[in-house]
Amino acid sequence: MTATSAPVRCTPQAGRAAPLGLARLLRVELRRNAMPFVLPLIALVFWFDSYRIAATLPPLWAERLFYIFGQGHMLIDFAPFVAGVAAWMGSRDGRRGLADLLATGARPRFAVQFATWAATVIWAVGGYLVFMAATLWALSRSITYGAPPYWPLAVGAVGVAAFSAAGFAAGAFFPTRFTAPVAAFGALLACGVSSQIGFNEGTGWALILPTNSNSNFGQDAGVFYQFLPDLPIARVMFLGGIAVALVALLGVPVTAGSLRLRHIATVVSAAGAALTVTAIALTATAQVTGYGTVIPALHDAASSRPIPYTPVCRNAGIRVCVHPAYRPWLADVTAALRPVQTQMAGLPGAPARADQVATLFTVGGPGLGRSSVGQIATISGQPAVLYLPLGALNLSGAFGQDRTDFLDAIKLQTVHAFVTAGSGYGDPAQTAVQAALVQNAGIPLARQARQALPDSPWGNAIAGPPGNGGYPAQIATAATRFAALPAATRHAWLAGHLTALRAGHLTLAQLP
C-alpha cells in the first residue's frame, strides 16, 4: 500500500450521471454474467431436441416449425437453463455476502438489481435470437416457398425474458445456493405441465400456455393463408406481463429505493399482472377457425385473407395442380393418382381434374379441440374435381412417414372419395369395392389396413378404421373376389352399379 497518490475527489452529480452510470454498470454486468457459460449447453440441447428433429420434417415452414414453435420446444429447451442461471445471478449478492456493502450504495438497490437482470436477459434473449436465426436460416435452405412466422419467434423471446425474470426474482428474494437448481427444475416443470395441459385442453384459456401444441397454426399456414398472429400476440402479452410484474416486484421492498420508486414499481408490477390476466381473458374468447385461432379483440381481418398463388400442374391422366409450395410433392401426387385414375377412368363421377385445397382446422378427437388431422379428399362439381388437402396427409418425412405412406394415403383417399361420395367409413359393400380398387391401384389388402387414417372422420364413422387387424373376413373375401375380376368386367359392373353403390343400396352379396 502506498500513500503517494490521493484518490480522485468526485463531485456527486447523481441526476446527470445516473444514465451513464447505469450504462457502465450494465457493461460490467454483461462482461461478468454467468449466462454466456451455459449458452453452448443450451445450443447443444436446442440442436438435439429441436433443430435435429425439425430438419427432418417436410420442407414447409408450418411443418418444420410446428415442433419448435407449435409445441413450444424453443421455450422448453431454453427455460430451465435461463431460469436457473437467472436465479444464480439474482441470488449472487446474498450468496456472496455482499448485502451489507451493497446496501451502502447510493444508487437505488432496484437499479442495481435491474442492471444485473438486464445483462442476464440480454445474453439469454440474444442467445435465443442468434440460435433461432441460425435455425431458420438452416431450415430455409430446403424450403422454397414463403417465410417463417415471426410472432411465435417473439413469443419465444418474451418467454425467455419471462423465465429469466422469474428465476432472477426467485434468486433475489431467496438468495441461497439451492435457488438456482430449484428455479431450473421449476421452469422445466412449468413447461412440462403447460405441455400436458395442452394435450387435454385444446381450446379456451389453456391456449395461452406457450407450449400448448393445439390450435397454433395449421399445416397450410403460410401457404394458402397467413400465420394468424392473434394467439402469439396474446402469448406475448401473457409472458411480457409476467416478466414486467416479476422484475418490478424487485422494486417493491423497503430496501429497493425511494418511496416514489417503490410506488412506481408497485404500480408497474400490478400493470404487468393485469396484462397477464388480460391476455388470459382475451384467449378465453378465442375462436378456432379453419385458418387458425382468432381472438376477436386482437384480430385484423386482413390477416384472414387467403394468400393468392398460381398453381403448378402436371398430367397424371388427369390434370393435377398443387400449390407452388407443394411443388416438391407434385411428382409423388401424380405418381399416386395415375394407377387410381386407371381404375376410375370412364366411370360416372370420375374426376376430370385434381386440385389441391387448403388444409383447415377441423374438429379433432375428444378433448382435443381442433387440429388439421382428419380432413380428407373429396370429389365434387361437374365436371368432377378431386380436391386433395395434401397438408392433412402425412407428407413424406413427417414424423416417421415415408414416401410410400404418402402415396398410399393419396390412393386410399381418392378411391374412398370416389366410392363413398365423401360419406363416412362406408357400408360393407362400399368398403369391399374400395378395398378392391385400392388393391388394384397397388396397395395390398393387408397394407390398406395399416394406411387408414385413424383420426379421420372416415375412420371414426363406424367405430374404428379397418386397420385394427384388417378388414372383417366377409369384406376381405368380397374385396378379393371383386379385385380378381377381369378389368373389363369390373369396369362394366361399376359403370352400371356405382350410383347405387354410392347411395348405399347394395349389399356384399350383390357384389360380383
Residues that bind other proteins (CB under 8 A): 1-14, 16-18, 20-21, 23-25, 28, 31-32, 92-93, 96-107, 112, 257-259
String of b and e for 186-215 (b: at least 16 CB within 10 Å)? bbbebbeebbebbeebbbebbbbbbbbbbb
Element (H, E) at 414: helix 403-420
Query: Given the complex with other proteins, which of 11 and 382 has the nearer CB atom?
Result: 11
* Residue 41 C-beta: closest distance to other proteins, Å: 18
* Residue 297 C-beta: closest distance to other proteins, Å: 41
Query: Given the complex with other proteins, which of 262 and 323 has the nearer CB atom?
Result: 262
Query: Given the complex with other proteins, which of 11 and 310 has the nearer CB atom?
Result: 11
Query: Given the complex with other proteins, which of 13 and 310 has the nearer CB atom?
Result: 13
* Residue 106 C-beta: closest distance to other proteins, Å: 4
Is there a contact between 409 and 394 (Cβ–Cβ < 8 Å)? yes
CA 432 remoteness from chain centre: 38
For the chain, the straight-line distance linking the first and the last C-alpha, in angstroms and rounded, comes to: 109
* Residue 182 C-beta: closest distance to other proteins, Å: 22
Written as one letter, the residue type at 203 is T
Cα angle, residue 111 at apex, residues 110 and 115 outer, rounded to 5°: 115
Supply 18's cell numbers.
Answer: 445516473
* Residue 15 C-beta: closest distance to other proteins, Å: 10
String of b and e for 159-185 (b: at least 16 CB within 10 Å)? bbbbbbbbbbbbbbeebeeebbebbbe
* Residue 309 C-beta: closest distance to other proteins, Å: 55
Query: Given the complex with other proteins, which of 105 and 381 has the nearer CB atom?
Result: 105
* Cα–Cα distance, 463 to 93 (Å, whole number): 63
Per residue, the 3-state secondary structure of 433-461, as one string, reads HHHHHHHHCCCCHHHHHHHCCCCCHHHHC
* Residue 455 C-beta: closest distance to other proteins, Å: 53
Query: Given the complex with other proteins, which of 7 and 366 has the nearer CB atom?
Result: 7
Which residue bears the cell 401424380?
A: 334
* 3-class SS of residue 410: helix
Query: Given the complex with other proteins, which of 207 and 265 has the nearer CB atom?
Result: 265
